[in-house]
Amino acid sequence: MRLLHTSDWHIGRSLHGADLLAEQEAVLGGLAGVVTSESVDVVVVSGDVYDRAVPSADAQAVLDRVVERLLAAGATVVLTPGNHDSARRLGTFSGLLTKAGLHVRAATSRLDEPVLLSDAHGEVAVYGLPYLEPEIARHELGLAVGEGGRAGGAARSHEAVLRAAMDRVRADLSLRPGARSVVLAHAFVGGGVASDSERDICVGGVDLVPAAVFDGVDYVALGHLHRPQSLSDRLRYSGSPMAYSFGEAGQAKQVWLVDLDASGLAGVRAVPLPEPRPLVVLTGTLEELLDDPAHAAAEEAFVSARLTDGVRPTDPMRKLRARFGHCVHLEWVGGGGGGDGRSYQERLRGRGDVDVAGEFVAHVRDGVGTTPAERDLLARALGAAAREEPAR
């Protein structure tokens, strides 16, 4: 059996206000071509199908069209909710959808009921674990404890609820001799490397899950981290299908093609994904960015511009968009813009109120500093404010 491991579609996400639905549909719809060319039997989506719990109608339409293409290409689809999704909303009509070949595993109480598939070697059990919010899932999994018990804190951790979930999975799997097994899970597993576009799932400071929690299954299709990575041969993150922050600019995106044979995991290989519109970070003065022919390749990309001008330029975004139509982010790192790497607090340390106020005046006047008369006026105003009695 051949599976395509994907995750973190985040349908409906935007990039600094720019709508990404067209790019998302291009990439996700293209997975149908991979299903056909690679003879894929099952496509799995390990959480964060949507970017928000209440997706827009347009986002839902994109998912509908993408899944329809995957099913038409001959694949069975199994998906689970992540921490961005609403499990209850995603699970609506799941019974009816199963008949069409779309299996939504969204109920914690049924996480040990696998999607049962078969090939020439026998049965394959695919278990979909929805994202398990510890404070909620611990009750559903029977981990609630008495007040003051030392286990109380542990029961509220991601490790505790996932360990309880996997115990149920292994118990069910023990009743299926000879069955190969796949688990979909949305979690931060020890050894994984995060990007800057994931939402923190830390609860009470405890979010890391040891890899050993997932022992006993043939393949674990992980979701949550947006960087594709392998924690072991059988434990992998596919990553997001697109870059969702400029910190991921230049990061190659992919999905995993997973083969199961009679004895279990036979092999895994990466399938690169196209990048409909790349993300590019450009650094330089406004004039350099507008005139340098070396930046021609970025004219159709999503652009984050870091301006190094000594004085803040006038109306820079409008000018940048005249050349880079998809410039969505602008940062001024020259002059007083804090480009020296120090924090705001560090830049203020040891400076008087008049100096700070004078810098603000220079900032709003595009680098034109205060005159002696203006500094005197600022000093008198600040002194008067300091002498005023607090309002009663």
* Tens of pLDDT, residues 76-87: 999 999 999 999
Q: Which long-range contacts (CB under 8 A, 24 or more apart) does 167-170 make?
A: 168/111, 168/112, 168/141, 169/111, 169/112, 169/127, 169/129, 169/217, 170/216, 170/217
Per-residue model confidence (pLDDT) at position 156? 73
Q: What is the pLDDT of residue 165?
A: 96
Q: Which amino acid is at 345?
A: Q
Distance CA 249, CA 271 (A): 19
| Lowest-confidence region among 136-150, 204-218, 248-262 | 136-150
pLDDT score recorded for residue 343:
45
% residues pLDDT > 70 (the chain) = 88
How far is residue 34's CA from residue 147's CA, in Å, rounded to a whole number? 52
Q: Smallest Cα–Cα separation from 55: which of 116, 10, 101?
A: 10
Say what the pLDDT of residue 371 is: 87
pLDDT tops 80 at residue 152? no
Tally Cβ neighbours within 10 Å of residue 200: 9
User: Residue 97 above 50 pLDDT?
Assistant: yes
Mean pLDDT, range 376-389, rounded to an integer: 78
What distances in angstroms separate CA 85 from CA 50, 54, 81, 355, 362, one per listed residue? 6, 8, 5, 48, 45
Q: How confident is the model at residue 153 (pLDDT cuts 50, 70, 90)?
A: low
What is the arithmetic mean of pLDDT over 311-325?
95
Q: How many Cα atoms occupy the beta-carbon half-sphere of 160 within 13 Å?
A: 22
**Cα pseudo-dihedral 214, 218, 223, 224, rounded to 10:** 30
209: β partners: 189
Domains of the chain: 2-272 (3.60.21.10), 279-387 (no CATH)
pLDDT at 203 over 50: no
pTM: predicted TM-score of the whole model, two decimal places: 0.82
Q: Examine the pLDDT at 362 and tell me if it is beyond 80.
A: no
Strands (E), 40-176: 42-46, 76-80, 102-104, 115-119, 122-128
Burial class of 55 by CB neighbour count within 10 A (0 to 12, 13 to 18, 19+): buried
Bridge partner residues of 268 (DSSP): 258
Long-range contacts of 264-268 (CB under 8 A, 24+ apart): 264/180, 264/218, 265/218, 265/219, 265/233, 265/234, 268/219, 268/230, 268/233, 268/236
Least-confidence region, from 141-145, 174-178, 234-238, 330-334: 141-145
Confidence of residue 206 (pLDDT cuts 50, 70, 90): very low
pLDDT given at position 374? 86
Q: Pick the residue with more confidence: 341 or 172? A: 172
Model confidence at 391: pLDDT above 60: no
pLDDT of residue 392 exceeding 50: no
Bigger pLDDT: 37 vs 192: 37
- Long-range CB contacts (within 8 A, 24+) of 24-27: 24/62, 24/241, 24/242, 25/62, 25/65, 25/66, 26/274, 26/276, 27/241, 27/242, 27/253, 27/273, 27/274, 27/276
Average pLDDT over residues 144-172: 75
pLDDT at residue number 365: 67
Mean pLDDT of all residues belonging to the chain: 89
Single out the residue of 320, 298, 291, 289 nearest to residue 250, CA to CA: 298
Tokens of 115: 């999607």
